[in-house]
Structure 1
Amino acid sequence: MSNGIVLDGYPDERRLSIRDRIFLGEGLFETIRVTQARSRHAELHWQRLARSAKCLGIEFDLSLQDWKMLLQQHISQEKLQEGALKVILTGGIASRGLTEQGKHPQLLLQTFQYARQKKPMRLISSDWLRDARNPMYGLKTINYLEAILARRKAMAAQADDVLFYNTVHHVTETSCANVFLIQQNKLFTPPLADGVLPGITRQRVIAACINQNISCTEKSLTQQDIGNAEAVFLTNTLQDIQSVCSIDELVFSVEHPLLEKLENQLNKI
């Protein structure tokens, strides 16, 4: 294992080099839920991190077994029973220049606690469109500036988050969650090709639908599709499933039989 490990709460000599390419926005991260002092879906997070690291050319040779061991050791060390673990993979150290390839990337581990938000989400449409051809939307990178600006705009408008569209006006995602619509007891979610992050909970919901014989289709979604939806919900690692009560002027029911069924199924897997 050649990746260096930096744990939260450790001495200053383990600080990052100023030459690490993470300071150019080159880095990846995973946020992993911890329940009953155990990491959840560690393998799915490892798979995504490994894929993303390969796309960016960042060295990541940690085996799945070592990954799980590392997570569990840190959870035990921090005495975390319920909460989350954030793992950042830096771009590594390099000389100046945009095209330089970093060496000796580091893994940063930080535990934290959080409260699951039960209240339904109020969304507004983003002021700008996303280019689905931008490869960064398919990677969970540490560069969250767009999400920060969008979330601030939403809060200024008395909303909770924004809903992004791509340049052909297809629904993509919010600042930190994937989107699902319910129409006639069928689920629909945007395809990854529309500029969507391959979310871990998104993946689990699709798998749960297959297991429960619930129709779930990946298709490009328009504003008209949103207007015809019976319900809308969001998915991410920390919140699992969260209902949407409104998007701009549209209002949605926050209760639906499929929502309860999916929530129960996700709790089992």
Structure 2
Amino acid sequence: MSTAIAWIDGQWGTAATLNLPLDDRALLLADGLFETVLVRNGQPQLLQEHLKRWNSSSALLGMDPPPQRDTLETLIQEAIQRSQLSEADGALRLNWSRGSTPQRGIGLPAPGHHRFWLTLQSCTPTFSAVTTITSRHERRNTSSRLSRCKTLAYGQSIQARREAQEQGADDALLLNTAGALCCATAANLLVRRRGQWLTPPLSSGCLPGVMRGRALAQGLAKETELTAEFDADDLAVLINSLSCRPICSHDGQPMATTTAAAELWQSLLD
């Protein structure tokens, strides 16, 4: 029986029992980053790719470098043992904030006070089909540095998902500030068109997702601008480290779905 586990400031416990200080900028300002890593049979998957993005994002946002891989691997392996996930799937979340600050406001504090914590819980990868809409209220900013980083600030995604659910859909697709298709609330978009998987370029404002990056590196997908409307014969999936979900309906119109979402996702782990 697996157990959810957490670590912060040298203490092990659960996410419900451990504490984040009330003056941490993660809590006050969502000033931080995170990575969600699949754990499969006791091993973190694509950890190097996640840490590369984590470090790049930290540098881009002017944060201190996150903990090194050697330090992380020791904590991750202990978390896996404590949670009894050595033969199961789990979701590992690595968090990095700018830390506690005694001052009010958004001014940057002195470096050297960043805070790291992690959580790990059981999680089953998901491949079921979803219905989507195009958000009418939220758009991805093509020029913002934040669009290129997996930050703690998910307010826009929450509101877009809320908008979808109010219309009876599962999720929302976000256009960017130029009006092109960009991504979903918590996943990258892959579109199968005339036999080729396509995905918006990073210049669209989409997150540089790890699974998206794998699809490009393996030659399974290529980058291209996608207009706001799907073509009649398009197939589409929403993909991230924990899922690959075909879109079966968009804005109330049925779409053909791929039957190989799980196989596509698995091929990117290999």
Q: Could you tell me which residue of structure 2 aligns to residue 88 of structure 1?
A: 95
Partner Cα distance (2:35, 2:64) in 1: 16
Partner Cα distance (2:12, 2:160) in 1: 30
User: Which of 253, 256, 261 is the matching residue for 1:253?
Assistant: 256
Distance 1:197 1:6, change over 3 A: farther
Conserved in 2, the CA contact under 8 Å of 1:5 and 1:107?
A: no
Letter in 2 for 1:262: L
RMSD: 2.3
List per-residue Cα deviations over 1:103-133 (Å, max 9, x = no partner).
Answer: 4211111111233333211110101233211
Conserved in 2, the CA contact under 8 Å of 1:8 and 1:110?
A: no
User: Which of 108, 113, 121 is the matching residue for 1:104?
Assistant: 113
How far apart are residue 264 of structure 1 and its match? 4.9
Q: Are positions 1:17 and 2:13 aligned together? A: no
How far apart are residue 256 of structure 1 and its match? 5.6
Q: Which has the higher strand share?
A: 2
Partner Cα distance (2:122, 2:98) in 1: 26
Q: Are positions 1:126 and 2:130 aligned together? A: no
Aligned residues: 257
How far apart are residue 254 of structure 1 and its match? 1.1
Conserved in 1, the CA contact under 8 Å of 2:83 and 2:121?
A: no
Partner Cα distance (1:68, 1:37) in 2: 12
Conserved in 2, the CA contact under 8 Å of 1:5 and 1:106?
A: no
Q: Could you tell me which residue of structure 2 aligns to residue 262 of structure 1?
A: 264
Q: What secondary structure sits across from 1:165 in the alignment?
A: strand
Partner Cα distance (2:11, 2:91) in 1: 17
Instruction: State the TM-score, normalizing by the size of structure 2.
Output: 0.86
Conserved in 2, the CA contact under 8 Å of 1:180 and 1:233?
A: yes
Q: Could you tell me which residue of structure 2 aligns to residue 64 of structure 1?
A: 69
Q: Could you tell me which residue of structure 1 aligns to residue 3 of structure 2?
A: none
Instruction: State the TM-score, normalizing by the size of structure 1.
Output: 0.87
List per-residue Cα deviations over 1:149-196 (Å, max 9, x = no partner).
Answer: 111111111101000001221111010000011111111110011111
Structure 1: unaligned runs, 5 residues or longer: none
Conserved in 2, the CA contact under 8 Å of 1:177 and 1:234?
A: yes
Distance 1:105 1:7, change over 3 A: farther
Q: Could you tell me which residue of structure 2 aligns to residue 230 of structure 1?
A: 234
Partner Cα distance (2:16, 2:252) in 1: 51
How far apart are residue 91 of structure 1 and its match? 1.5
Q: Could you tell me which residue of structure 1 aligns to residue 213 of structure 2?
A: 203
Letter in 1 for 2:268: L
Conserved in 2, the CA contact under 8 Å of 1:4 and 1:105?
A: no
Q: What secondary structure sits across from 2:74 in the alignment?
A: helix
Distance 1:11 1:236, change over 3 A: closer
Q: Could you tell me which residue of structure 2 aligns to residue 221 of structure 1?
A: 226
Partner Cα distance (2:224, 2:158) in 1: 27
Q: Could you tell me which residue of structure 2 aligns to residue 55 of structure 1?
A: 60
Q: What secondary structure sits across from 1:164 in the alignment?
A: strand
- Aligned counterparts, 1:96-175, within 5 A: 96-101=104-109, 103-128=112-137, 129-175=139-185
Partner Cα distance (1:202, 1:260) in 2: 15
Structure 2: unaligned runs, 5 residues or longer: 1-7
- Among the aligned pairs, what percent are the same residue? 26
Q: Which has the higher helix share?
A: 1
